[in-house]
Amino acid sequence: MEIALEIVVRCTEIDVNGHVNNAKFVEYLEWGREEWYDRLGLHYDRLHQMGAVTVVVNMNINLRKPCYQGDQLRIVTWPVKRGRTSFVLGQRIEREGVLVADGLITLVTIDPATSKSRPVPDELARWFPEEKAG
């Protein structure tokens, strides 16, 4: 399921070059992932009740175009694939339909009591495309 979050670039997100600082794009993508979890009913407390938390272990982000104060951005998040204990979310940021950033984010499911990886809970796993037999 693809989830979108609309935001407006604020003055505090601008760097000395007059555009959005690169680190803010990482934060925007995090906001998008949190929106994805929340809209699926998988907020932090719910995951914790399932004996799971998720941790980002890899980010591959392409910063394609600069953004400026006042720009209206759309952060889109969707499930790409999953393994036994990890999964990948795809994300893109658009401004007026133009791609300004995109990436793939890999997360691992951790048992909060042991800090060890654990299988992706069924309630989360069901949102990912079925693996094709090879």
Active-site positions read 15
Side-chain-side CA neighbours of residue 20 (13 Å): 26
In angstroms, the Cα distances linking 34 to 69, 75, 120 are 23, 11, 17
Q: Considering only CA atoms, which of 56, 36, 37, 51 is closest in space to residue 119? A: 51
In whole angstroms, what is the distance from residue 24 CA to residue 47 CA?
Answer: 26
